[in-house]
Amino acid sequence: MTRSATRPRIGIDVDHEHDGRRWVYKLPTRYVEVVIQAGGLPVLILPNDPRSPDDILADVDGLLMTGGDDIHPRVIGEEPGGRPMRLLSVQRERFVLALAASALRREASFPILGVCLGAQALNVAGGGDLCLDLYSEGTALHEHRSGAEHSVLPEPGGRIDAFFGGQPQRLVSHHHQAVRRLGAGFVVDARAEDGVIESFRDPQRAFLLAVQWHPEAQAASRGGAVIITALVEAARRARACGEREQ
């Protein structure tokens, strides 16, 4: 069997935190399940992998950057300033930002999906910044935290617009931070009804999409499994093109 006939390998980065007794790796099983259901082969990426991010990504056909806790304000040149936050472990923060930077350096055919923290890490790696707390900064008018359901409005003609069938969707999110200024080359693909950026993409890449909601946790919605399937299919196409060029 040729490699093109096998499932595309989708890298999924794993969280790293202290559970009160010990350091553990953590990943909601839904990330793995939806990738398998979409026809992909999940490849778990650990934050203490001894390889460089470039070498790690050379071994997969696409990347799914997962959710997690907060990037430290100093990464974008700010201080905590009393904002509520739960910080990533230093090891995962360094790794996820390095992984995002490496992904953005890869050829434009390499597909990338960022979810929640993954979206924020891609934006920071791309030169953008973050709203560090939507509520203390007065940015959000609606609830985005703890599984709140709110409307997401796609930008006409974008990738999310196609997934949504041109209509706003009610989706569940779990974030108190969000993209503020987009990194170079990124464009808004959807906003919440209060104007918070909920999705962005890079129109110069075959598939780079970042979303603040969790598609893996609401697979039946128009913002769910269809997005994971699009990532897997983009990885399949990219691998097939690469094999033809060899």
214 classed as catalytic: yes
| Helix or strand run (H / E) with residue 200 | strand 197-201
Cβ atoms 12, 32 nearer than 8 A = yes
Residue pair 215/223 in contact by the 8 Å Cβ criterion: yes
Tell me if residue 10 falls in helix, strand or coil: strand
Q: Which of 116, 175, 176, 198 is catalytic?
A: 116
* CA angle, 114 then 128 then 131, to 5°: 85
| Chain centroid to CA 56 | 17
Mark whether 174 is an active-site residue: no
Nearest to 44 by CA among 35, 17, 52, 236: 35
CB 77 within 8 A of CB 125: no
End-to-end CA distance of the chain: 17
Chain centroid to CA 44: 15
Q: Cα separation of 119 and 217, whole Å? A: 16
The catalytic position among 16, 144, 150, 214 is 214
Active site residues: 116, 214, 216
